Structure 1
């Protein structure tokens, strides 16, 4: 592999993580960045055709069905994208000695307790989305010896729709907000996920035979609630000069029960990232630094509309 530049197939290039990865992966090789129109993970024939056409050495798969509530009524579609497609990618990767790097979620856990989840803790997904992502993980592990699964949580960035951008928009439109305060996790930026992805792939390309394949947790350091997250980002946005109609004090804490949704959310989304840090010698920044970075990036460019 060292004799030529590797071909990296990237799925979901228009998604918030795929958009960030497209640029980040460029120094590593020839990046074939495919949109849903070019590689539709809900269709097995589309997946197979893209793989055969491009013959990648590395497959990076951030694309997923992420409409958590809609998945409760679209289980077949969620499983097609989140479980069946990763199975096909893994089977092809195994047959062609390629690496599959796949992203997963804290939703594979039931959210009980307060201890950060470790990679080997039992998965007990409570939602269709979580079940489909867990099935995808299991398919990848079963089929592809050369695999990396990165479980992450509360992902946000400057592209696409996410909690940060929604709260920022609402803070410019409303005089008060109510935000859930009894779910705990670590907001994790697409920039951090992309940086770690590149670091791991560099290790892999240096020594595929000695690489530490497997499943790892990847989240920013620290923890907060959605309410704490909202208050922090509004305070920071105000400091940066955003024109807001409300202050952090205008954001009221509520419980999960006060805001019922079709799919259950994990109360405990804490991820223990010690395995990732120790195996690869990585230092993970605090979640607040990622929020500051994205707010600064958004403030320096025309505002995009949220993609819902």
Structure 2
């Protein structure tokens, strides 16, 4: 099965490429700029058509959450217009599309874990642009899976796990927000779920459960709790450690508002696809172990 994924350097893209590398049933091709540029819609259809996908994974996005407040036109151009063109190009080829979205489509004021039936109400330009992208994808290609995820980390790029390990090297204490809750999610677990759902869709023209799904790590915590687990795990593996101080969101102002509650219920994905992500602590431990090992090897 040939998967074509938009983007080259994102955490999920790199995780997907790594996970598929040893599998004979998947051929994964990553397309990025300049061949495929979501801000330049005219590049999208030719690039996807030439790549001959059986399924398209729409992973490329504008992800600078705070910067988006100053660049709303660019954020919407990439996350909405660009995503819609990707889905439309896939539809013309006859390929389904798996599109990645975010917990930021919710305002975070709800109680408990959000389900797919809860009404989105983004509080930031980034969240609004991703919600518009969901609508554009659904309109352009009826054979779509929109996967909302949250708090993604991996050995690649910039993310919370890597930041905590870096800060722990030379700080006596790290102040971390304690009043925002969510599900830490390994990009490897997202990649595994994408491959699993793609295999389910492949050749199954009778699949009737297209739509929106939540996909996140199992279990919940706040950012300070996440930080503590990262650093305790690092210490146990011989890596850096430092204390974590709880602070409130008001103590750490950001240009874009973050959801206080980013918890996502994944029951629907489990019911339809028969797969649940591992406990976030297990997945986090493997990423921390890998990062420490690579650092010791000088990579």
TM bin, normalised by shorter chain, reads: over 0.9
| 1:57 positional shift | 2.1
How far, CA to CA, are the matches of 1:197 and 1:9 in structure 2?
Answer: 12
CA contact (8 A) 1:11 1:34 kept: yes
After TM superposition, give the deviation of residue 208 of structure 1 in Å: 3.0
CA distance in 2, matches of 1:193, 1:91: 23
Mark the runs of 5 or more structure 2 residues left unpaired by the alignment: none
8 Å Cα contact 1:203/1:211 also seen in 2:
no
- The offset of 1:214, in angstroms, is 1.3
Q: After TM superposition, list the pairs within 5 Å mapping 1:75-90 onto structure 2.
A: 75-90=72-87
- 2:254 counterpart (238, 248, 261): 261
Question: Could you state the TM-score of these two structures normalised by the residue count of structure 2?
Answer: 0.95
Listed as ranges, the matches of 1:1-308 within 5 Å are 6-26=1-21, 27=23, 28-244=25-241, 246=242, 250-302=243-295
C-alpha deviation, 1:94, in angstroms: 2.1
Alpha-carbon distance, 1:91 to partner:
1.4
Whether the aligned pair in 1 keeps the contact of 2:49 and 2:93 (CA below 8 Å) is no
* Corresponding pairs, count: 296
RMSD across aligned positions (CA)? 1.7
Q: Secondary structure at the match of 2:290?
A: helix
- Name whichever of 113-122 and 206-215 sits farther off: 206-215
Q: Give me the whole-angstrom Cα distance separating, in 1, the residues matched to 2:297 and 2:264.
A: 30
Conserved 8 A contact 2:231-2:240: no
Change (3 A) 1:303 1:141: farther
| CA–CA separation in structure 2 for the residues paired with 1:303 and 1:193 | 27
Per the alignment, in what secondary structure is the counterpart of residue 155 of structure 2? coil
Q: Is the 8 A contact 2:177 2:223 kept in 1?
A: yes
Structure 1: 4+ residue segments shifted above 4 A: none
The answer to whether the 8 Å contact 1:47/1:89 transfers is: yes
Output one character per residue of 1:248-299: Cα deviation in whole Å (capped at 9) or x when no partner.
xx21100101110000000000101110011111132111111101011112
Partners of 1:83 and 1:144 lie apart in 2 by 14
2-structure distance, mates of 1:243, 1:234: 7
Cα separation, 2, equivalents of 1:33 and 1:283: 26
Structure-2 separation of matches of 1:24 and 1:89: 23
CA contact (8 A) 1:97 1:146 kept: no
**Which moves more between the two structures, 39-48 or 124-133?**
39-48
Q: Measure how far apart 1:183 and its partner are.
A: 0.2
Segments of 5+ residues of structure 1 without an aligned counterpart are 1-5
- Give TM-score, length-normalised by structure 1: 0.92
